[in-house]
Amino acid sequence: MDPVVVSVSSNPEHTFSKAALPRIRLLAGLGVEGDAHLGTTVQHLSRVAADPAQPNLRQVHLVQAELLEELAGAGFEVAPGQLGENVTTRGLDLLSLSTGTVLRLGERARVRVTGLRNPCAQIDGFSQGLLKQVLYRGADGGVVRRAGVMGVVLVSGVVEPGAPIRVEAPRGPHVPLERV
């Protein structure tokens, strides 16, 4: 199956979940038009408190629909947008991408992947026990983060469900994603 956008979401307020919409507009260097995380500097409230001048490497949040299906199998009902993501994808292993991968979403929009979302306790506020499903220690003792990836908008454009996703790997060796 070719990678595709399943759902798009946005929320102008700093709440955990985002409403599914018929389309979103990505703005180069800023993020999702009308979303609370739009901006050149960090907009996540915990990051703002630490250093409001940090660059915003978390303009767009992407989660794969396959994770939502896996969570459903574990007894958690999570619809697209409810983990706070802007774009829900299918047919693309987001977590295995290299840092710097560019995703072409639809006709024009391009997002450069910056790293892994670092899930927080708010996830358990949404559904008790969900945090342990997306953040845990692997067999090797390392931290496993499965709550999606973050990116910055390189090229503006409208993104709608059903839009194809094309992957442009960066030059050079694979650089595993780290939390941002």
Do the domain assignments include residue 155?
Answer: yes
β-strands 109-116, 102-105: how paired? antiparallel
Could you tell me if residue 179 is inside a domain?
no
Q: Is residue 120 part of a domain?
A: yes
Confirm whether 49 is domain-assigned.
Answer: yes
Looking at the domain assignment, is residue 17 inside a domain?
yes
Strand partners, 1: none
Render pLDDT for 42-73 as a digit per residue (tens, 0 to 9).
998 888 888 989 999 999 999 999 999 999 99
Q: Which two tokens stand for residue 99?
A: 């840092």
- For residue 25, count other CB atoms closer than 10 A to its CB: 16
What residues make up the domain containing 96?
4-168
Residue 29 belongs to domain with CATH number: 2.40.33.20
Q: Is residue 175 part of a domain?
A: no
User: Nearest-CA neighbor of 93 among 171, 167, 154, 173?
Assistant: 167
Total domains present in the chain: 1
Centroid of chain to Cα 62: 2
Torsion (CA) 128, 116, 145, 61 in degrees, nearest 10: 30
119 within some domain? yes
Tens-place pLDDT, residues 4-20: 999 999 999 999 999 99
- 120 vs 81: which has the higher pLDDT: 81
Do the domain assignments include residue 180?
no
